[in-house]
Every structure is written in C-alpha cells, then in structure tokens.
Structure 1
C-alpha cells in the first residue's frame, strides 16, 4: 500500500476570481412541504441516532416529503453573502472549507429519465437536460453494486474552482467537504426513518463529461429510499 500525502491547504494571500458554473436548466420540481419541515419519524437524540445508524442496502420508494427534508437539512442554503472573488459564501447545515460549498447533489429518481440537481436556494429539484445519456454508464455501474430498482441515487459533484479560488492545494478540502456531506446525509436519513447507503463509486469518468471544460468532478455516490419490508440491515 502506498499512501500519498497531500500538501497542506493554505488560504491565498489574494484570492483568484472564479465565475461559478452555470448549470443547464430544465423543469423544476418544487417540494410541497415548506423548508425546515420534518415528517414525523419518532423522537431521538443525536446520540441515539449515532448509535443506531447503519448503512442499509434495501430500499423502498422514496417519500417525497422526507426527501425534501433530507436535502434541506443537509444542503439547504440558509444565508449567503458576496465573497468578492466570484463564488458566494453560503451558510448550510453541513460544514465546508471557507463556506464555499463546492459539492452539488444530483439525484436520479426511478420514475424520471433525467437526473435532477438540488437547488438549496429555492428548495427544489432542477432537471439537468441531457444528463441521462451522459450518466447512463454511471447509473449502470451503481446498479451493479446495489441493484435496488426503487432506490433514489445521489451523486456528489464537486466544482473545484470554487475552493481553489481561495486556497492553495485545495483538493483535500474538497474531498473532506464531500465526506462531511455524506456523513450528514447519513445521520439526517436515520433521523427521518430513511435507508441510506454510501457507495465506493466516485462518479468518474462520466461526471466530468457533464461539463466539457473540466469544471466538474465526481466525488461520491449514495442510495436513499424508504425502509424495505425485507431490510437486510448492514454495517
């Protein structure tokens, strides 16, 4: 085994200007439940949730209200302010280096052919036109890992330029942001009574093909859904 030691990130004395990527926009799916609403899933402290959290590998159809709550309480944008160098600084529930939040969430729901991006500002899923063709091999790879036809598949997509605008050697910060988001998703899913399982898939090389100028990169994937009657449990 060879462990590569990444250099330590450090803030740039003068940030570089970066113009954030503009996603193609299709139709919007707005969540009916208001921001911050939490479907009833029983009362539990965060310590109870940590004790019972497991990666679940069986999935029923996702509950729309629970999905909206999951996304808002992990990736919803609570407040913003200008940075002066392009990307807006954002306050979200999940921590991020420099408050830059470079990780986008794209979801593939069983009943929709295209992938949808979660927009935490308007609390809606926004269709990404053309994504079904580009990400078809990724969908196939995820099905080979866990075939559950009712699962909603989430791919974590980094926009590295946002973090590199402020930091030298920013790669490890971006991976840590992705890990923090996966961890927060897993705890929120447990609180909402949902099944959640991270996959070892990064999403590459297909995620990069969503933007041919090299501004996007896959940094993780997960499955989400309601409890299945044949729960296989997990570690």
Structure 2
C-alpha cells in the first residue's frame, strides 16, 4: 500500500504490532508481540488434532498425543520454544511433510488421510484468521482511523491527489535495488521446495492445491534453477538441495 498509495501511507511501514520492524509477509509470524497468540493457537490446533486422530486412528492410538507434542509442527508451542519454520508453513496453509507424517503414523491409507486432513486444514485456517489475522486487522483499523484514512481514500486516490502530486511522490521515493533473484516475483516462501518428487502423488496434489497463487512464485523459481544453464550442461539435476520439512 505504501508503494501504490504513498500520499496516504507516507512511509509508515513499521509493524503494526511491535512497531520495531518493517512489516513484511514473514514478520507477521515472527513478531514478538504475536508470539503468545500464535503459540496458544498451535496448542489449540494440537489438542484438536489429538481428538481427531483418536477418532480416526487405525493404529498406535496410545501414542497419538506423543506423535503430536513431539512433532516439529507443534513441539515448540507446548514447550514455549521459538516458532519452528515448519509451523510457519501451517500458518500459511501449507501441508508440510512433518504434519502429513503425523497422519501417516496413525492412519493406514492415503485415501483416509485426505478425507481427514483437508477438513482439519480448513479448521486451522479459520482459527488462524480469528486469532491472528483479526488481531492485526483491528490494529490496522485503529491506525487507519488515527491517520484519517478511509476505504474511499484508496478507491478515490486519483481524485484526492492531482497528477502532479502523485508524480512528485513517485519521484521522491528512494530507489531500492535488490539483486536477489528470490525477490523478482515478490515474496517467496524460503522453506518450501517442490523438487522432492519422491513424495506420494496424492500428497503433492494436496501440497499444491493448499497453496494459493501468492506463493506460486516459489515453484517457478525452483524450475528456473532446475533448468538453469549450468545444471543443463552438467546434468546436475540430482545434486540440488531438497528441503524435507
């Protein structure tokens, strides 16, 4: 918004919650002022998963609680450790290999897992929106009102500010040059790698379909690297790093 509406936001890009860091897609999940809310949400999601698997488990029902409380996705919350990168994937509606592994430990068939895991992901998504996004949105509305900005300020931006004002604001903006290829398509999740094609095809379908278009840049970026000139010349496809989270 600061890039597209500089005369409204006026470079006020600090985190709405902690006001100590520039707000980014990743910082929302790492903000210290959001930690307790995220942790309590994961404890609730973990407890809900224990109840869910107790109903659907085909095997090892006595260790369901341990499978969840010692997994990378949930262990950090029960122990009050720093948030784990795999947990951030769940916050962004990705189904990680770690989360799928919990289901595979207690349910025999992939067909049954798919039937159970997708409603669970929907439940988690709703919980995250209610507990985490709502808190941030409420703070944004308060600041927006304090700044004298309304929804119409954005839709009528061209009417509120002349062409000369908008042009001057654009010229006065600092030019930021970033040679990092990962930034060419905007935000890219650093913890997902879609080159691990050893995964079950049903799981790959879930992984891709549970991601929205905002995160598709990571997939195309990996394709760029896989088919880069050096890799093609050296037939070096199998030596690429694979994240197995």
TM-score after normalising by structure 2: 0.31
In terms of fraction of residues, the more strand-rich structure is 1
TM-score normalised over the length of structure 1: 0.32
Greater C-alpha radius of gyration: 2
Pick 1 or 2: higher relative contact order, CA cutoff 8 A, min separation 6. 1
